[in-house]
Structure 1
Amino acid sequence: MNTEVGRLNAYKEKTKVDGEELVLNVFPKRVFEMEDILASDMFFLEGKYVHSDVNIPYPINPHNSLPPGDDMDSGLTNATDKLTNDKQQFPSKGSFVYALPNGSVSYNKHIKAMIEKTKPCLTQLMIEAQLVRLWVQFNIPRIEDGNNFGVGIQEEILGEASEIPFYSCLVGNKRLISHEN
């Protein structure tokens, strides 16, 4: 039993040292690395350069075939009459689309390149943030007197650090990010 407690205390101390190293040295370096990545030419493209054709057919609206103002001359007085008349003139026909006639839609190559460039850094930051969360938990002192101001701040930081997996779900979700066509 003594050896397990000793191992647990050694793990706790190692986590405290690693957490301090992350906060003091590693995170500032990561910030500068991310700034360099985001300042590259890849991330400063105008919308017209990032645009890609999705090649998805869309139905033609039958109401657009009417000449302008033609529905005003129909003698219908209210919106319900016009809607009923439209349903009679243009009955809705069609079927569900289960496949696209032009094949699958390819991903946007520019956005894919941006994701692939930032994904390793963000994944590493998520892993390191979990260690910082554990470090904060180990540094919360026991409440022994009425002054809990510092503990409240640490608990607030812990709450923010605990939300990192929620906000990073899109980065880690391989089906959304790394979907290859």
Structure 2
Amino acid sequence: MKMTLSCVVQDYKDSLKQKAEHLIIKGFPEKIVKLNELLETPHFQNRDLSDVHQDLNIPVPPPAQPTNEPSAKRPRVDSTENNTVEGTKVYALPNGTVPCNKPLSDLIHLVKPHIRELVEDSNLLKMWISFMIPKIEDGNNFGVSIQEDTLAEIQSVESEAAAFFDQISRYFISRAKIVSKVAKYPHIDDYRRAVRELDEKEYLSLWLVMCEIRNRYCSLHDIVIKNLEKIKKPRSSNAESLY
């Protein structure tokens, strides 16, 4: 006999509740320990910022050669004469493409799974608390308010974690714009310096993201464990025994 739709939905809710409780009691502490250990590795510790610098593979072309001929009028663009105008080449990439910063790309590859896990875990906790909010009634809503406050904190963490992905994509867009300036104006060292400064900033941002992920797991674990009884049973039966 096939299960009814209501039974399937209820099984899903029960399974989600079990996963969420296991995540809070065992999963979060394990993640916190793992993230602390990761933050102590050479990826994030004892790294000189110059380690994240990378050659742009954009050589500086030779400057324009001065001519001894007397200056004449500027040649017309539509002139049919074979006038040769020498100048400095731009957008010249004789060595091939400009690669992404490999040290930072490797670090981003390491950080992104933890961002995704925080989003997924926050979403799981959000649904878990939502399923335990009781029906709307008058009175005895102190536990419900705790559920709602905890739910708001989890939603905030979920949104903040999702924003970390946008931060990574903005880095690549910003770097591409500066690198295009280097290709267009290869003689201007400020653009090359700007690329190095941006790479250093992104490294510090990735370190900060990992710290924030660890801190968010700690804060979510703390607030849920402290209020676990009220979250699971927002309305006590003590009031009913008085009547």
In structure 2, how many angstroms separate the alpha carbons of the residues matched to 1:162 and 1:126?
A: 10
2:155 paired residue number: 162
* Residue correspondence of structure 1 range 139-150 to structure 2 within 5 A: 139-150=132-143
Determine the structure 2 residue equivalent to 1:61: none
Residues 1:137 and 2:139 are matched in the alignment: no
Corresponding residue of 1:11: 12
Residue 27 of structure 1 corresponds to which residue in structure 2? 28
Change (3 A) 1:147 1:125: same
TM-score by length of 1: 0.61
- What displacement does 1:125 show? 2.7
Query: 1:157 corresponds to which letter in structure 2?
Result: T
- The change in CA–CA distance for 1:143 and 1:170 in structure 2 (over 3 A counts) is closer
What amino acid is the match of 2:6? V
Partner of 2:40: 39
The structure-2 alpha-carbon separation of the partners of 1:100 and 1:28, relative to structure 1 and needing over 3 Å to count, comes to farther
Give 1:153's aligned residue: 146
In 1: Cα distance, 2:32 partner to 2:50 partner? 29
Q: 1:50 aligns with which of 43, 49, 52?
A: 52
Deviation (angstroms), 1:105: 4.8
CA pair 141-47 structure 1, distance change in 2 beyond 3 A: same
Q: Distance in 2 between matches of 1:140 and 1:11?
A: 16
Trace 1:92-131 onto structure 2 (pairs within 5 A).
100-102=91-93, 105-131=98-124
- TM-score in terms of structure 2 length: 0.47
Query: 1:21 deviation in Å?
Result: 0.7
Question: How many angstroms apart in 2 are the aligned matches of 1:140 and 1:100?
Answer: 61
Contact 1:133–1:162 (CA under 8 A) maintained in structure 2? yes
Q: 8 Å contact 2:16–2:124 — kept in the other structure?
A: yes
Return the offset for 1:43: 0.7
The answer on whether the counterparts of 2:118 and 2:161 sit within 8 Å (CA) in structure 1 is no
Aligned length: 138
Aligned to 2:86: none
- Residue type of the partner of 1:150? G
Partners of 1:130 and 1:117 in 2: how far apart?
22
Instruction: Give the Cα separation in 1 of the matches to 2:167 and 2:26.
Output: 30
* CA apart distance, 1:141: 2.3
The 1:173–1:24 alpha-carbon spacing in structure 2 relative to 1, beyond 3 Å, is same
Q: What value does the CA root-mean-square deviation take over the aligned residues?
A: 3.4
Shift of 1:32: 1.1
Change in 2 beyond 3 A, CA 1:120/1:170: same
